[in-house]
Amino acid sequence: MKKLNRRSFLKGGLAGGAAIAAVGTSKQAVAGTHNFGGYPDSMGVLVDLTKCVGCRTCEAACNKEQALPTPDKPFDDPSVFEERREGGLPRRTTEKAYTVVQKYDVPGREHPLFRKVQCNHCNEPACLTSCFVNAYKKTPEGAVIYDKTVCVGCRTCMIACPFYIPAYSYSSAINPVVKKCIMCYDTRLKFGRPPACVEACPQEVMTFGKRKDLLKLAHQRISEKPDKYVDQVYGENEVGGTAWLYMSDVPFDKIGYDNHLGTQPIISYVKEFLAMVPMVLTIWPALFTGFHLLSNRKDALKNDDNKS
Amino acid sequence: MNSLKSQGFAPVVSDLKKDGSTWTVKEKIMLGLSPKEYWAVQLRNPFNWLLWAIYAIGLPILVGRFIFGLGWVTHSSYDYPWGLFLGWGLFVMVPLSASGFMMGTTVELFGRKDFKPIERLGLLNGLLGYTFAVMFLQVDLGQPWRLIYPMFVSLGPAAVLFLVAWHVATYLSCQVAELVPAFSEWMGFPKAKKFIKSIVLGLTVAGIILSTLHQGALGALFTYAPGKVHPLWYSSPFQWLHFFVSAVFAGLSMLIVVSTLTKWFMRWRCDENYLNNLSKLTLGLAKGASLALITYLVIKIIGIAHDNNWAYLLTGWGAWFMFEMVVGVILPLIFYTMAVRNSNASLARFAAFMAVFGLALNRLNTALISFNWQLYQELPHWREVVIVVTVYATYIVVYRAVLARMPILYTWKEKK
Ligand code: SF4
Ligand code: SF4
Ligand code: SF4
């Protein structure tokens, strides 16, 4: 549990920093390159993009399950696929939609490819590690949930999420909160039931199960049909692994997935700085008080010179 | 006021009036003028007209932000959760306010008593800059009344922003303490001053630690977003160092800028000691700033080499990056060096304005312009701009009001 080490070590370091009584905070070393692999029995969802027909049933199911406001266009209206937000990008998750289906016309492919987007429930989520009030929690079941009663609204989690998932209810003046998929934690996952969107899908695009089993299943399917699938399970290693996993017959970078995210969890990029914190806390006081003594000594010597 | 002084007006500089009686606090606040005279002076000043115009437009919009929410004043973008409020108010204001800890260090720690005339200006610049950075933060936070949550209600100590919050808060109290002497002289509480004197070394060392960490932490915040910030402005191992070192020259340069402005516009409030020493001290600051600038330039190049980002220099982003480096770093460095060599304070002042511009450009580039470079560019909403101008105007008003009253630019004459 090196991860816990790092967290508790920081707690010590920072409390020391606050009190400026910074002695002996560097006892525990910063965790090395070890990544938190997620809870061993956490659940996940395997999405087979080749099966999705873009019916948007999952969107409707999520809307109902999460009691979200009725959208402007009904869920059977395919014209939403042509909607473009700024920069010519397809529509994304918003405060009113925790999941959206996007359409990609891939040259050479017979039918367009549809892609369901929602929070990927990372093993070591960037949103969680960046939040300074601990509003996020990764549950042992695998969901990344959010506590709206402590959120201050700094929106660092939105900066940090590599998948651009959290949305924010900017329109609310008194209680704006982060809005994102919570894997139906309160109503279903907690009781071992699959998320609403998974259950509602008529094409059985999504498989709910233990993450480690889903990975096995995915690789098995790929090796059975190597001509059909690209040899990558997106989410297996990306940013340290995610609970939602994807299989595709089109290279992932052609259909809106970022293949440059790397395999390190986002927190590891912050590590250099976090490692430096206890150093500064312990070394600086001695160093600068030393400088002060030295400069005073110079003065003293000067005065002696003047006297003699 | 400058013209008033040339007509023989003598501003408050001690507890005692010319006739031997003491000034009341109210009179001190009125700068030693009668209320009628005071308001007449305020009305005559064309800069005040500009401020009224800003407030006439800005205040209703600022109030509107709290009634209608952030969505009304910003583009409420999910892809760009941070806009001008933080881009300008936090990421630019905080490094420009680094002068506080540096003057404290120079004078109290390294014993450079010759910088005394400008020390308090440096401290005040720090205190006000941080205070208003918090104001900007309050405008930006979705739920500003929860500002203390990260301190006491729900702690996320592993987050970089947690560090920023704690350090800025403790450092603010440090800075308030460091300015207590000026306030106590003005108000006539000698005991407070004495107490601060006894702990000033501790305060200064604390200031250095907290500043190193939170200036660096502001940079480290962006390391949460690798891939979102353009590689030329992003370097995960060096980001905190880049932000920290640039804060050093930014704080010194900003101090030169504000001291120049006081020399131009508030000459009536400066005493001989301040005015006579200013050119020499400006050159001293220039020397420090040029050392920080060369360090910054070198680690910036190391940053690019470390991540092997040379190819990006040939793109449009590279041209923009070079513009920032040449105008904001290399030219000020050259001018500062020339200024120090030829003892040319005016040139140092010019360099300082450029360096401040360069710092602001760097932070805006990192936080806004090069952010999401692979998605699209976002222009701030006009209401957002209006609010930033309004809050910044308030910063200037408060700055000016303190300078006009407390012994920052002049030395308080103690009772014998
Ligand atoms: S996808 Fe984004 S919001 Fe979801 S857990 Fe990962 S970092 Fe957090
Ligand atoms: S917006 Fe809320 S949940 Fe997100 S980082 Fe800030 S406090 Fe945490
Ligand atoms: S898991 Fe639940 S909350 Fe998430 S997209 Fe599916 S239905 Fe919505």
Name the residue among B166, B219, B227 with its Cβ closest to that of A18.
B166
Alpha helix positions (H), B223-271: 239-265
If you measure from the C-alpha of residue B352 to the centroid of ligand 2, how many angstroms do you get, rounded to a whole number? Answer: 37
Q: Exposed/middle/buried for B341, CB within 10 Å: 0-12, 13-18, 19+?
A: exposed
Indicate if ligand 2 lies below 6 Å from the C-beta of A128. no
Q: Whose CA is nearest to atom 5 of ligand 2?
A: A131
Q: How many CA atoms lie within 13 A of B255 on its CB side?
A: 37
- Among B143, B244, B373, pick the best mutation site for testing chain A contact (most A Cβ within 10 A): B143
Hey, are the CB atoms on B111 and A14 less than 8 Å from each other?
A: no
Closest CA to A143 of A163, A167, A164, A123: A123
What pLDDT, on the 0 to 100 scale, is given for residue A38? Answer: 64
pLDDT digits 0-9 by tens, B292-349: 999 999 999 998 998 888 988 888 999 999 999 999 999 999 999 999 999 999 999 9
Q: Exposed/middle/buried for B35, CB within 10 Å: 0-12, 13-18, 19+?
A: exposed
Name the residue among A131, A285, A295 with its Cβ closest to that of B111.
A295
Closest CA to B286 of B323, B320, B241, B254: B254
Hey, are the CB atoms on B82 and A17 less than 8 Å from each other?
A: no
What is the nearest CA distance from A155 to chain B, expressed in angstroms?
6
CATH, range B22-405: 1.20.1630.10
How many residues can be counted in chain A?
308
Interface of A with B in 131-160 (CB under 8 A): 131-135, 147, 150-156, 158-160
Backbone dihedral angles phi then psi of residue B96, each to the nearest 5 degrees: -70, -15
Question: Regarding predicted confidence, which is higher, A289 or B55?
Answer: B55
Name residue B79's amino acid. Answer: D
For CA atoms A249, A254, A256, A260, give the dihedral sign. positive
How would you write the pLDDT of chain A (308 residues) with one tens digit per residue?
334 343 343 443 444 343 333 333 333 333 334 455 567 789 999 999 999 999 999 999 999 999 999 998 999 888 889 888 888 899 999 999 999 999 999 988 888 999 999 999 999 999 999 999 999 999 999 999 999 999 999 999 999 999 999 999 998 888 899 999 999 999 999 999 999 999 999 999 999 999 999 999 999 999 999 999 999 999 999 999 999 999 999 999 999 999 989 889 999 888 888 888 888 888 888 888 888 887 777 666 665 555 44
What is the nearest CA distance from B279 to chain A, expressed in angstroms?
24
Interface of A with B in 29-58 (CB under 8 A): none
If you measure from the C-alpha of residue B365 to the centroid of ligand 1, how many angstroms do you get, rounded to a whole number? Answer: 25
Q: Using the predicted structure, report yes or no on whether residue B90 has a pLDDT greater than 50.
A: yes
Name the residue among A94, A260, A292 with its Cβ closest to that of B227.
A260
Indicate if ligand 2 lies below 6 Å from the C-beta of A150. no
Per-residue pLDDT band at B376 (split at 50, 70, 90): confident
Task: Name the residue ranges covered by the structural domains of chain A.
Answer: 6-275
Residues of A in contact with B207 (CB under 8 A): none
Residues with Cβ within 6 A of ligand 1? A 119-122, 125-127, 144, 161, 163, 165-166, 180
If you measure from the C-alpha of residue B79 to the centroid of ligand 1, how many angstroms do you get, rounded to a whole number? Answer: 14
Residues of A in contact with B152 (CB under 8 A): none
Which whole number is the average pLDDT over B267-272?
A: 88
Interface of A with B in 269-298 (CB under 8 A): 269-270, 272-274, 276-277, 280-281, 284-285, 288-289, 291-292, 295-296, 298
- Please state the ipTM of this predicted complex: 0.87
For CA atoms A249, A162, A211, A46, give the dihedral sign. negative
- C-beta separation of A243 from A185 below 8 A: no
If you measure from the C-alpha of residue A10 to the centroid of ligand 2, how many angstroms do you get, rounded to a whole number? Answer: 19
- C-beta separation of A2 from A30 below 8 A: no
- C-beta separation of A248 from A49 below 8 A: yes
B63 at interface of A, judged by CB pairs closer than 8 A? no
A6-275 placed in CATH 3.30.70.360: no
If you measure from the C-alpha of residue A185 to the centroid of ligand 1, how many angstroms do you get, rounded to a whole number? Answer: 15
Task: Name the residue ranges covered by the structural domains of chain B.
Answer: 22-405
